[in-house]
Amino acid sequence: ESEVPSCIARKVSQYSCQRKTTLNNYNKKFTDAFEIMAENYEFKENEIFCLEFLRAASLLKYLPFPVTRMKDIQGLPCIGDQVRDVIEQFTSVFGVGVKTSEKWYRMGLRTVEELKADKTLKLSKMQKAGFLYYEDLVSCVSKAEADAVTLIVKNTVSTFLPDALVTITGGFRRGKKMGHDIDFLITNPGPREDDELLHKGLLLYCDIIESTFVEEQLPSRKVDAMDNFQKCFTILKLYQPGIDNSSYNTSKKSDMAEIKDWKAIRVDLVITPFEQYAYALLGWTGSREFGRDLRRYASHERKMILDNHGLYDRRKRIFLKAGSEEEIFAHLGLDYVEPWERNA
Ligand code: ATP
Ligand code: MN
Ligand code: MN
């Protein structure tokens, strides 16, 4: 029998920012199920179990082989008791794994449909928009759609701020071919003038959150720090001539007026001051787990506090400036990890 797993086990760091995780996931069967379980625990506000499943999912994404036996996970970090039980169930009875994960999927979907059907539920503006464009929003965003939206956003932004920098972040910056949304970071070198950026005719739904950043404020020490940038969670109307949107066309195929030539797409726009751009870019590129572990690493291993606005050295009592992501990794004493290696 191969000794590979326990050999690499000794070298595997518990921090995903010290592991290189690409999109080659040999354990999708597990990681999909774990992420659904984590989300379940998140709803139940059980943060400990939620994190346990998320960390285990990240670790399995990193492994260069599919887990098939309990022995494969021997000695690895980030595998808690809950996770161990689930893997045992999966691996002990052949064929159970796939069926169980499919069942979880079906349970998840049913919940959404039940929610949708229940007219007595009080929904927020955001939830209503979410249900209104539900079919579009659950069908993922492709790289081609992300490229099309990038052009639109860049053009729109440049009419207001000609010098502004627009960068795609999130999963697409990490090389993903699909995403649940498209994330953009917008910054303007020079004087700050970033209001009026949001082009009304373009937006189906927009929830603007004003900046709450306070100068000199210490970085947040919470693991899952939301930042204080001005941001906008939007649903954008992407026109696609000749789009085959069968879910909308089935009822009245002959009626041309019924043909929907656009798709609703979730877009996150984040506006950041130029000096904080590198930190915002690192934070918004994700993955969520990678960012979480960067912050955990900073505080546990370096006595520093990292968030999307900056890095604070608690020993020297200073904020560390950075003009690029490379500089931030250097401040933390970490080897640079490329965006496409941050898919933890
Ligand atoms: P997907 O393809 O599913 O969109 P993603 O990695 O792009 O995957 P997002 O949820 O879009 O996932 O988040 C992208 C990054 O932005 C993550 O690293 C996340 O931590 C960060 N992020 C998302 N929402 C916020 C928020 N409200 N405040 C601060 N950071 C956020
Ligand atoms: Mn995203
Ligand atoms: Mn997003």
Q: Return the CATH number at 54.
A: 1.10.150.110
pTM above 0.90, yes or no: no
Question: For residue 144, what is the DSSP state?
Answer: H
Q: Which of helix, strand or coil describes residue 21?
A: strand
Q: Is residue 223 part of a domain?
A: yes
Predicted complex: ipTM over 0.95: yes
CB burial readout 262-298, b (16+ within 10 A) else e = bbbbbbbbbbbbeebbbbbbbbbbbbebbbbbbbbbb
The more confidently predicted of residues 103 and 185 is 185
Share of the chain above pLDDT 90, in %: 41
- Which numbered atom of ligand 1 lies nearest the CA of 183? 11
End-to-end CA distance of the chain: 29
**170 and 268 assigned to the same domain:** yes
Q: What's the token pair of residue 148?
A: 């099309």
Q: Could you tell me the residue range of the domain that residue 103 belongs to?
A: 6-138
**147 and 40 assigned to the same domain:** no
Confidence at 332, pLDDT banded by 50, 70, 90: very high
* Mean pLDDT on 57-80: 91
Residue located via tokens 């690493």: 297
Strands 262-272 and 182-187: parallel
- Report how far ligand 3's centroid is from the alpha carbon of 267 (Å): 7
Share of the chain above pLDDT 70, in %: 69
For residue 28, give every residue at least 6 positions away whose Cβ sits within 8 Å of its Cβ, in sequence order, or none: none
Query: What's the CATH number where 317 sits?
Result: 3.30.210.10
Confidence at 140, pLDDT banded by 50, 70, 90: confident
Q: Is residue 284 part of a domain?
A: no
pLDDT exceeds 60 at position 18: yes
- Which numbered atom of ligand 1 lies nearest the CA of 290? 18
Query: What pLDDT is stored for residue 196 in this prediction?
Result: 55
The span from the CA of 36 to the CA of 334, in Å, is: 31
Ligand 1 pocket (Cβ < 6 Å) reads 170-171, 176, 179-181, 183, 226-227, 283-284, 286-288, 291, 308
- Report how far ligand 3's centroid is from the alpha carbon of 318 (Å): 30
The span from the CA of 132 to the CA of 19, in Å, is: 40
**303 and 215 assigned to the same domain:** no
